[in-house]
Amino acid sequence: MSQARFGIWALVHGSRGALHDPDEPFDASWARNKNLVLEAEALGYDSVLIAQHTANPYDDEWDELEAWTAAAGLAALTSRIEIIAAIKPPLAHPVILAKMALQIEHISNGRFGLNLVNAWNRLEYEKAGIPFAEHDERYAYGREWIGIVEALLRGERVSAKGKYFDVKGFQLRPADPFRRRPAIYVGGESAPAQELVAAHGDVWFINGQPLEYVEGLIAGARALPREGAPLRFGLSAFVIARETAAKAQAAFDHLLALTEKDEAIRARQKQNTDPAVVMKHTHIYNRPPIIGTNGGTYAGLVGSYDEVAARINAFTQAGIELFMLQFQPFEAEMRRFAREITPKVKRRER
The pLDDT score that the predictor gives to residue 277 is 56
Please state which of the four CATH numbers 1.10.287.90, 3.30.365.10, 3.20.20.30, 3.40.50.300 is assigned to the domain occupying 5-349. 3.20.20.30
Of 303, 305, 310, give the one whose Cα is nearest residue 341: 305
For residue range 230-240, list pLDDT tens digits in order. 999 999 999 99
> pLDDT tens across 131-164, in order?
888 888 999 999 999 999 999 999 999 999 999 9
Averaged pLDDT for residues 302-323: 98
- How far apart, in Å, are the Cα atoms of 103 and each of 33, 51, 110, 283? 21, 19, 10, 40
| pLDDT band (50, 70, 90) for residue 290 | very high
Higher pLDDT, 59 or 345: 345
Residue 122 confidence class, pLDDT cut points 50, 70, 90: confident
pLDDT for the residue numbered 307: 98
Distances (CA, A) of 206 to 129, 228, 306, 315: 30, 21, 24, 12
34-63: per-residue pLDDT in tens? 999 999 999 999 999 999 999 998 888 999
Q: What is the pTM of this model?
A: 0.94
Domain extents in the chain: 5-349
- Note the pLDDT tens digit of each residue in 210-237: 999 999 999 999 999 999 999 999 999 9
Between 101 and 132, residue with greater pLDDT:
101
Q: Please, what is the average pLDDT of the chain?
A: 93
Q: How far are the Cα atoms of 151, 208, 263, 287 from residue 270, in angstroms, in the given order?
A: 36, 19, 10, 17
Beta carbons within 10 angstroms of residue 319's beta carbon: 21
